[in-house]
Amino acid sequence: MKLATLAMAVGLLPLVAGAPTAKPIILRNLAAPRYFGAAANTTFLFNDKNYTEVISTQVAVKWENIEPEPNGFDFGPADEIVRFAESVGAQMRGHNFMWGNQLPPWVNTSLTATELDKALENHITAIMDHYRGKIYAWDVINEMISDNTPNETFKDNIWTQKFGEEAMPKALAYARAVDKQPKLYINDYGIESINSKSDTLYDVVSGFLADGVPIDAIGFQCHFTLGQIPTDLEANLQRFAALGLDVAVTELDINLRGPANATALAQQARDYWSVVHACVNTRRCVSVSVWGVSDDHSWIPNGEVLPWDAEKQPKPAFYAIADAFEGKPRP
């Protein structure tokens, strides 16, 4: 397993020329009582000293990596992340159990609904038992709301093909049956503004709550393009929080889609501030995680999307995040 999502990023000593202070800016401290985190590739985590300095932890446990064969679990790489997390005193989030992508070949439509149901329950039970007491939240559901709302509610994948509308409640119920302590999340993209997709998710979650389906929180991925932060992001976070749910920014990055000149970097900083500010203003927004650590290891090549550059030095966005957590004005 190479990709891991890391929570509570360690701050970075501002080493850039003209940095405002020699005192370390520690984002994990500024974020308290919220968490600040980052997604990281474990190859770089254990082999790039500067990369490791920037982060702490959370962990991605995707089916194709952790259960490549039926009931044949490979916990080794994930266990390394757990030990690293414990060594730096970091909190961890788990990601994910039900997703239409990155499934091993044996999880396919040749399985009957009964066989797939048993596999799902066993997968969730084995992993949550293994990491009991070590992970404070799980993205149980990932990217299950259709992009074709309002005409279609759920994506067409193996889970909905076999279980229909009961797919998500099954996974959430199995997770809660294993462990009552971790927060159980639904995580998705394209739901950051008040739009058709987020309206659909809102209706789905409201129905879950009315029916007693265990759900604790919603994760908003927040993959944005420069200058395109939804103006109603905070209002949208607030309406889900008003349901009695925690909300979190789980996969934040801001794509420059062009050269990293001073103007673009300044706008990127303002955009990062706007997202973090929306979370800070929402009482039940519990965390902000960026989807990567430094630009050279981002999942978006040449997008320069993250708060640290290829040399692991803080960009203007880094300081804007700190300002937002401290309640300072937008840069």
Of all residues in the chain, what percent carry a pLDDT higher than 70?
86
For residues 212-240, average pLDDT: 98
Query: What band does 16 get if pLDDT is binned at 50, 70 and 90?
Result: very low
Query: What band does 65 get if pLDDT is binned at 50, 70 and 90?
Result: confident
Residue 251 designated active-site: yes
State residue 82's pLDDT score. Answer: 80
Q: Tens of pLDDT along 79-119?
A: 877 887 787 777 788 889 999 999 999 999 999 999 999 99
When mean pLDDT is compared over 44-58, 79-93, 187-201, the highest value belongs to 187-201
Task: Compare 38 and 49 and report the one with higher pLDDT.
Answer: 38
Q: Which of 192, 234, 251, 304 is catalytic?
A: 251
Task: Compare 274 and 90 and report the one with higher pLDDT.
Answer: 274
Q: Tens of pLDDT along 140-149?
A: 999 999 999 9
State residue 86's pLDDT score. Answer: 81
182-207: burial string, b at 16+ Cβ within 10 Å, e else? bbbbbbbbbbbbbebbbebbbebbee
For residues 216-245, average pLDDT: 98
What are the two backbone dihedrals, phi and then psi, of residue 228, each rounded to the nearest 5 degrees? Answer: -125, 35
Judge whether 177 and 120 are in contact, CB under 8 Å. Answer: no
Judge whether 232 and 205 are in contact, CB under 8 Å. Answer: no
State residue 52's pLDDT score. Answer: 66
Task: Compare 298 and 315 and report the one with higher pLDDT.
Answer: 315
Peptide bond into 105 cis (omega under 30): no
Mean residue pLDDT of the chain comes to: 87
Q: Tens of pLDDT along 284-309?
A: 999 999 988 888 888 888 889 999 99
Of all residues in the chain, what percent carry a pLDDT higher than 90?
66
For residues 167-181, average pLDDT: 98
Query: What band does 43 get if pLDDT is binned at 50, 70 and 90?
Result: low
Rounded distance, CA 47 to CA 293, Å? 14
Judge whether 123 and 67 are in contact, CB under 8 Å. Answer: yes
Q: Which CATH number fits domain 3-325: 1.20.58.220, 3.40.50.300, 1.10.10.60, 3.20.20.80?
A: 3.20.20.80
Domain range list for the chain: 3-325
Query: What band does 53 get if pLDDT is binned at 50, 70 and 90?
Result: low
State residue 54's pLDDT score. Answer: 65
Rounded distance, CA 273 to CA 249, Å? 13
